[in-house]
Structures are given as C-alpha cells and as structure tokens.
Amino acid sequence: MTALDLSSPVAVVGTGTMGQGIAQVALVAGHPVRLYDAAPGRAREAAAAIGARLDRLVEKERLTAAGRDAARARLLPVEELTGLARCALVVEAVLERLDVKQELFRALEDVVPDDCLLATNTSSLSVTAIGGALRLPGRFVGLHFFNPAPLLPLVEVVSGSATDVTSATRAYETARAWGKTPVACADTPGFIVNRVARPFYAEAFAVYESQGADPATIDAVLRESGGFRMGPFELTDLIGQDVNESVTHSVWRSFFQDARFTPSLAQRRLVESGRLGRKTGRGWYDHADGAERPEPHTADPAEPPAYVIAEGGLGPASELLALIREAGLEVRERDEDGGTRLVLPGGGKLVLADGRTTAEFRDVVHFDLALDYRGATRIALSHARHTSPAAVAEATGLFQALGKKVSVIGDVPGMIVARTVARIVDLAVEAVARGVATEDDVDTAMRLGVNYPLGPFEWSRRLGRGWAGELLDELHGIDPSGRCAPSLALHQYACAADEREDTP
C-alpha cells in the first residue's frame, strides 16, 4: 500500500494551531487541502494565517515564490462538511473530548466516500474508542503530530483495535511522503512518547517534593549531566502546566491508576493557583519581563584529593578514571570483590547512584549518572547528614578538578539522572513487550518527539541490560508503594542479555 497520490485532496477539521500546522504540512507536500471549522469564518481566518506563514517561508528561502503561489491555489476553506465530500484523507484536530470527536466522525461518514482514510490527531484519547462509533472503523487511524507540526518530524501512526493494516500502512507511507518520520504503534494510553516520557516529569517532581533539590538545580543537572535539551520544570512551563498535568492524569486513569504514573501534588497546586507557565507569566519560574532566573545550586571551590583508589571498573562511569588521570591526579587501582567505587584519601567513598540512600552507609557520597562524563559540565553529589564534611569536600574537589560544576543535593536514592533514565528504560521495555511498538520506533519517537539525547534502548545498551532493573529494585525496596517497581518485562529483558541454558 502506497502513500496517497498528490492529486488526492486532504481535509483538516479544526483550525487551531495544530490543525493549521497539519494543513500546512499537507499543502507544502503538494496536496489540495480543504479546511473546515465548526465556528463560522474560522476556516477563512486559518487559510489567511497559513498563507502568511508561507510568505515567511519564502522570506527565509525555504520555499520559492512560485511554490507559495501554487500552494495558496490548492488551499480552500469550506463552511460545510459537505465541502469535504471528495477528500481521500480527513485529519481531525478538534477539542480533546471523546463525544465531540465521535460525533464529528459519524457525520463525516455520511459525507466522504467509503475509501476515504479518517484520522485523529488525539494525544490522549483512545483511537479505538473514537473509531468504535464508526460504521467502517477499519479505515480509522491515529495520526499524532507534534507541535509545531511543520517543524517537528515525528508522527505517531496509531492503529486502533479495529484498524485495518492497509489503512495504517497508507497513513504511515503518506506521513513519510510528507517528509515526516513516522513510527507505528498500537493504541495504548499515551501512545509511545506520552507514555514513556512520564518519568521525566514524575521523577523530577518527586525529588522536588522530597526537598531533595530545587527546580533550577534539577533542571540544570538533567541538562548539563543528563544531556537533555530542557529540564522538566522549564519544559512544563513551556508546554503549560495544565496541559502537561492533563496528559499525566489521562495516562494514569487509563492505566487504572497504576502507581508508576501517579500525578504530582506539587504540580496540581501550581495548576490550582493559575500558575500555568509562560502563558500566564508564572509557573515553576517567574516569566515576567525582567524577572531573574534562579541559579542552580553550585558548590563553592574545594581542594581536589591528591589521589583516589579505584575499586572495580566503575561500570557506566568507567570513563572517569581516564579523566582523573588527565587532570593530573593519581589513580591507584585495587581489586575488590563487588567493588565499583572510588575511595578518597580521607576514607570516604564515591559510589555511582544505585538506588540506595547514602544514609545506609558511613561516609559514602553518591554521584549521579551522566550521558557523557567527558562532555558533562555539571555533576550532582548526594550525601547523608552524618556524612563527614571532609568526604563531601574531597568528592566536590575531585569533580571540580575535572572541570565540572558540582551540585550537592539531598539524600535522594537514585539521585536525578539515574532514576529518571532507569524508569524511562523500564516503561520503554514494557511497551515493546506488550506489542506497542518496536525498539527502534521507541528510540526514534523519544529522540524526535521530545528531543531526548538517546532513546531508552540506546541508553540501556550503553549502561547494560540489567542496570535499570537493579536500580529500580533498590528504589522499590526503599519505597514499596509501587511507583518505582520494575516491570516483569524489564526483568525478562535483563535475563535475555545472555543465554541461560541451566535448568532450575
């Protein structure tokens, strides 16, 4: 099954920001496009707005003047649904309410031919439930674009329970022909991106709620150590706290209030207070003109230790040994069964975040996971109240000698980057095990949909298949509420790392 022919008219119903963006994508790809909105005059206004954006593309030399003029000639606003009668594809981008969408598609079935592909851009509702109201649900798919649709490459092509393979394939190939990067997924709460991304927000909010660190510090650690484009507090301020919380609640309810998707009380209070982010001028941060952005906590300069003793290879942090030597510090290596730590001259121990609290040990300082220890510009350290100041000072001085800023946070098990990545990996592995999508499509979706530095399976291959499960086991042991409980799929995934032929 191939993509729709460029001569085939495409309709977009709903002319808000997303609807206009989808229409622009189809238009620039070469299709005749019909715009419809239930509000009188709205379709004409949207057509004018799209035309203005085409003008800007010409100014930026991304579109020729002739291409713009041809696109404008193919764009037609209509005032009645009957104006969509000859369309080969209708994409809906209206209010996120099941009853509204079902009513719209029932009406469309009376207008368009039986071979017209019907698609919803929903981000939070069940594609199966919307399509369940139709006479021919096999031709119904999800085409979930990301905002702004003309710029972001990802499209989730969602198959409902009744979607025909031919319909899903045609939608997939059409999205690809439009210059997008489609990923195929089954109809599951949150699809790929909004399901797998929940821990990016949830773990940051949990660290904040436990008084482990402030928003500016958490954001900085995830950016400068984890390699994420934006931190969760600044990102939700950009998205809108109400929008982000609504998606979280939708996924949580759809998974029958699974503890792993529990919404944040701190975010709820933010929404209740009307502090929705940039659009209201205040969210986690103050966005008023001239407002100063709070600085992340950064430790004062400290003297580096004269040497460190390496016990074990440090696992995912093994790159640190080369960096320490390059900084001119002595590394003494010592074999130690089960040891994967650095011992400081004063007797303190530096241990990579592993899901345990530092309160369990004497003079242990945990350091957080980094995407790339060489390239990271900030490292977070965690210690208990009883940890000796000398151990904290030596650990701080060591990382500062490597050219890193150091943020010292509270005794947070799993710290910030490590627990976030572990939980993202877990949800990704479970999604694949349940047939939601392939490993490659999950990685593609998370890199393109939310700009993650690595896809979850890329992280897992770098860290080791068993790494996430071991960290989450520790977290679940400390907090048996279930919010950090590793899935059965993650356990099976780790066991598949090597062939196990022995019988029990």
The tens digit of pLDDT for each residue in 418-477 reads: 999 999 999 999 999 999 999 999 999 999 999 999 999 999 999 999 999 999 999 999
**Confidence check: pLDDT of 21 > 50:** yes
Specify the residue for token string 């764009």: 75
pLDDT at 498: 58
Q: Tell me the percentage of the chain whose pLDDT exceeds 70.
A: 97
- The amino acid at 293: R
d(CA 466, CA 378) in angstroms, rounded, equals 26
**Confidence check: pLDDT of 497 > 70:** no
d(CA 495, CA 499) in angstroms, rounded, equals 8
The tens digit of pLDDT for each residue in 130-156 reads: 999 899 999 999 999 999 999 999 999
The tens digit of pLDDT for each residue in 86-126 reads: 999 999 999 999 999 999 999 999 999 999 999 999 998 99
**Parallel, antiparallel, or unpaired for β 349-352 and 341-343?**
antiparallel
The residues annotated as belonging to the active site are 123, 144, 156, 194
Please, which pLDDT band fits residue 312 given cuts at 50, 70 and 90?
A: confident
d(CA 233, CA 202) in angstroms, rounded, equals 11
**Confidence check: pLDDT of 178 > 90:** yes
**Parallel, antiparallel, or unpaired for β 140-145 and 117-120?**
parallel
d(CA 87, CA 113) in angstroms, rounded, equals 8
The tens digit of pLDDT for each residue in 192-217 reads: 999 999 999 999 999 999 999 999 99
Stretch 340-349: mean pLDDT, rounded?
93
Query: Do 278 and 287 touch, CB atoms closer than 8 A?
Result: yes
**Confidence check: pLDDT of 501 > 50:** no
Stretch 242-256: mean pLDDT, rounded?
95
